[in-house]
Amino acid sequence: MKKRIILYLVIVICFLDLFIQLPIITPFVLELGASEFMAGIVVATYSLFNMVGNMAGGYMSDKYGRRNTLLFGMIMQVFFVLIYTMTPSIGILLLVRAIHGFSSGLLTPAAFSLVADISKRSAIGKSMALTGVAIGTAAILGPASGGIIASLVNYETVYYVLAIVYVIGTIIVYSAIKESSTEGSRAHHSQTSLKELLLRPSLNVAYISSFTLMISQGALAFGLPIKTDLLDLEASSTGMMLSVFGVTAIIIFISPINKIYTAYKSESLVALGLLILSVSMMLLHFVPSAAMIFAVMVIYGIGFAMTFPSMNKIIAESSEMHERGKANGIFYSYFSLGSVAGSTIGGYFATVFNLPFLGIGCVTIIMIIIIILMLALRMKWVDSVH
């Protein structure tokens, strides 16, 4: 149990990188003299190269091992996070964001493949729920600590603190994490091609679900500040509202409710969870008060809690050890792509129709229909095999 707690702590560190920057990266870029448009490009560059890092991290964790990939990524993080503190121009910052996004992307597929490797098949759902707790913890601690440190000292100090966190993470991985993949699996890492993993019906359900979930997340990050502004609420209320859905999800992850991940099929939980998320997005368009937004965020948290562990469980159950890293790499590249697409599509609906949440709700409903069709194709594929 102690080893698992250490592993979940490593996952917190992996995701803290993303969340601690949320409240500071845009003003940091603007302070360097960038335009708002350029600031958007700098912010998006991280996610774009994070996708590339996810794919590379998946390949490396299958070929060289989960632990070695984590170590390499952690060490890269220390160096490239520190470069933020001495960035003299927008051009260099753009380059730093690209390399930083790549090195951060290496970590996630290795960490989640490690969790799946060491989990008993009957307990994968609960293991993935606990990874959700780790990410939720990072989501709650990251923005708050980043904002506080920046306001008390400066933006550069946030990156000094983050570098120290990754030094600690490197020490933890080196001293306390054991390799979960076998020599045999690493020797056979090339047996499964990326094309095969991309086309495998069961994995495609997880990939598209990941993309859909992060479309809603990206739209939420983009649209919620606009909604709170329209209701003349304090800017700080947005963070509180986002925290509510995170706390709701964590409660489900750690409570006896998490038995649902074992009792029900992952595909059913994913479909229902995404439907709840879609309804939540639509409700956000109509709610007239802060109290109602908080209530919708609870509903959104329920949908998120049903979806996230179930998607990861599908990846774990539908891939063998020698290919699991690559499968997770593809999965989390869809994750990153969905986040970018969500804020972009949400911005389009807001600009053209003034309906960011309603529009995204319709998009996610369409994605659910696609997932259901994929499940039907998967059943036909299984029947044909047997």
pLDDT tens column, 219-236: 777 777 777 778 887 766
300 DSSP assignment: H
| pLDDT for residue 328 | 92
| pLDDT for residue 381 | 56
The pLDDT > 90 percentage for the chain reads 32
Domain ranges of the chain: 1-181, 191-386
Whether the per-residue pLDDT at 210 is higher than 60: the answer is yes
Q: Which CATH class is domain 191-386?
A: mainly alpha
Token pair 């109602």 is found at: 292
Q: How far apart are CA 350 and CA 355, in angstroms?
A: 5
pLDDT mean over 167-183: 92
* 202 vs 163, more confident: 163
Q: How far apart are CA 345 and CA 222, in angstroms?
A: 10
Q: What CATH number has the domain spanning 1-181?
A: 1.20.1250.20
Whether the per-residue pLDDT at 172 is higher than 80: the answer is yes
pLDDT tens column, 18-42: 888 877 777 788 888 877 677 777 8
Query: Which of the four pLDDT bands, split at 50, 70 and 90, describes residue 377?
Result: confident
CA distances from 33 to 38, 39, 80, 232 (A): 10, 9, 21, 29
The CB-based long-range contact list for 181-188 (8 Å cut-off, 24+ gap) reads 181/61, 181/62, 181/65, 181/66, 181/113, 181/117, 181/321, 181/322, 181/325, 182/321, 184/322, 185/62, 185/320, 185/321, 185/322, 186/62, 186/63, 186/64, 186/65, 186/322, 188/322
| pLDDT for residue 384 | 58
* Least-confidence region, from 123-127, 183-187, 286-290: 123-127
The pTM of this model reads: 0.86
Q: How far apart are CA 351 and CA 354, in angstroms?
A: 6
pLDDT tens column, 297-339: 999 999 999 999 999 999 988 888 889 999 999 999 998 888 7
pLDDT mean over 267-290: 90
Domains 1-181 and 191-386 fall in the same CATH topology: yes
